[in-house]
A and B are shown apart, each in its own frame.
Chain A
Amino acid sequence: MTVNPFDLKSALLAKHAQHVVLVHFPIALLISSVAFDLLAIGTGSRSLAKAAYHNLIGAAITALAAVGTGVLAWQLQLEGENLRGNLRLHLGLGAWSALLIWTLAWWRSRQERQDSGSLTVGYWAIAFLAVLIVAFTGHLGGILSGVEVPN
């Protein structure tokens, strides 16, 4: 069962292995987006605000892959069984994370199209909530995958 990390075929056929790899992209891109937005406010830079927007769109697109591979992992590795405990919590929080990222991306895209100015309080509230939930989901995923060992 040992998968050679340099064997592309084995890695691609490792069923759920893609989830633990791909999930890092929406996490990183969302956090970068919020960080760029904060920097954009601090510096008044339009470029940084643009960078934040593009990072958020990247997060929304890669979240599709993360959710898809997560559901595949559930169906293929656990045969779609009723999840309990941390697995169920991870699934629920992951779904909420994706939903919040997509909401932010939709909100931001609409704003870009209308070329309206600064971000609203509501946007910031959802953005910070999304970062919190994504962080907690990722932390839980780290424990489940064995990367992090619970105390």
Chain B
Amino acid sequence: MKNARWMLGVVLTVLAAFTSIALTQPGVAKVSDQPASAEVTIDNFSFGPTTLTVTAGTSVTWKNNDDVPHTVVSDDKVFRSKALDTDDKFSYAFTKPGTYNYFCSIHPKMTAKVVVE
């Protein structure tokens, strides 16, 4: 009986220790709460990848690595960035499934799409 109490005490102490460790590491606890994210890079007058497939709720970030400004504008005007200079970023969270074709309004030959499942 004494051993059983002692074992129970050890188990509870270990559980309490693991719980406190888990709670004091916010990065670990919040992982499941964070929305998914994806990145599209703008290099040499093209979007990469040209087709990005994500799940609904994903936040997509575009980063301009070119030395000239670019924009990110969806064909149906769902989203539109300002002119992005070098290293500027633009993010948009896709909540509804569908195919979103977009282009650079300064260089309309630059096209790509995001497929939201």
B interface list, Cβ under 8 A from A: 45, 67-69, 71, 75, 80, 82-83, 85, 101, 103, 105-109, 111
The answer to whether A79 touches B80 (Cβ under 8 A) is yes
Chain A residues whose CB sits within 8 angstroms of the CB of B111 once the complex forms? 1-2
The answer to whether A84 touches B107 (Cβ under 8 A) is no
Say if the beta carbon of A77 comes within 8 Å of chain B: yes
The answer to whether B68 touches A77 (Cβ under 8 A) is no
> Please, which residue of chain A has its CB at the minimum distance from the CB of B105?
A77
> Please, which residue of chain A has its CB at the minimum distance from the CB of B108?
A1
The answer to whether A14 touches B83 (Cβ under 8 A) is no
Secondary structure of the B contact surface, majority rule: loop
What bracket does the count of chain A residues touching chain B fall in? 20 to 34
Chain B residues whose CB sits within 8 angstroms of the CB of A143 once the complex forms? 67-68
Say if the beta carbon of A132 comes within 8 Å of chain B: no
A interface list, Cβ under 8 A from B: 1-3, 14, 16-17, 77-79, 81, 83-87, 143-146, 150
> Please, which residue of chain B has its CB at the minimum distance from the CB of A144?
B68
The answer to whether A14 touches B108 (Cβ under 8 A) is yes
The answer to whether B108 touches A86 (Cβ under 8 A) is no
- State the CA gap A17–B83 with chains docked (Å): 17
> Please, which residue of chain B has its CB at the minimum distance from the CB of A83?
B83
Chain B residues whose CB sits within 8 angstroms of the CB of A79 once the complex forms? 80
Taking the closest CB of chain A, its distance from the CB of B65, in whole angstroms, is 13
Given A78-B83, A83-B83, A87-B69, also A2-B107 (CB < 8 A): no
Given A144-B69, A144-B106, also A1-B75 (CB < 8 A): yes
21 A-B pairs (CB sep. < 8 Å): A1-B75, A1-B109, A3-B108, A16-B105, A77-B71, A77-B105, A78-B71, A78-B105, A79-B80, A81-B82, A81-B83, A84-B69, A84-B83, A85-B69, A85-B85, A86-B68, A87-B69, A87-B83, A143-B67, A146-B68, A150-B67
